[in-house]
Structure 1
């Protein structure tokens, strides 16, 4: 069994940066982005109450259901799309292998 998956971050230029995310640490996608020095503030520390880890999911396998807190936060964002998620609410697991996200602006 694999011990890591690959997540891709699409830049404005269309370039995709590949990140390796370990499966044995129960990390969120937000934590993987921060560990790789992407500009994700994550002010609330992953509690789904600040939306500073907003990403647009461009490609993915099945994603976990969105909880009410995440849905409420996304409804308040001016740049939210139908494929927006809070990266703090996406836990790294084998089904996320190949996930492609774009980090969204805060305002």
Structure 2
């Protein structure tokens, strides 16, 4: 199973095994990590699962959609590495990926 590292708002890191086909959001929620609220349950209709993907792993996930980009306009602490974790579907190539939950999510 691919390992995803989550850096949560207090600065601590959590390494989580996330099954291929599940989202980065699922891995966080399943492990009760702070910062990824996921109010919409992963249906890409809120921005409460906003994360920053480490640059070296950005290409490991699918391309950002227009819908996701529109929702990120309402999030705080948005940067060029911002994604909604519900839209980051884990593949074998994601092993070792690192995402940071912005302080505004904490």
Give your verdict on TM over 0.5. yes
Higher relative contact order structure (alpha carbons within 8 Å, sequence separation ≥ 6): 2
Pick the structure with more helix per residue: 2
* 1:43–1:50 Cα contact (<8 Å) kept: yes
TM-score computed with the length of structure 1 as normaliser? 0.83
RMSD of equivalent CA atoms: 1.9
Contiguous gaps of at least 5 residues in structure 2: none
2:11 paired with 1:8: no
Write the distance in 2 (CA, Å) between the matches of 1:103 and 1:14: 9
* 1:61–1:96 Cα contact (<8 Å) kept: no
Q: Which has the larger radius of gyration?
A: 1
Of residues 73, 78, 81, the one that matches 1:80 is: 78
2:32 paired with 1:37: yes
How many residue pairs match? The answer is: 102
Shift of residue 33 of structure 1?
A: 0.5
* 2:4–2:97 Cα contact (<8 Å) kept: yes
Contiguous gaps of at least 5 residues in structure 1: none
TM-score computed with the length of structure 2 as normaliser? 0.84
Write the distance in 2 (CA, Å) between the matches of 1:13 and 1:34: 17
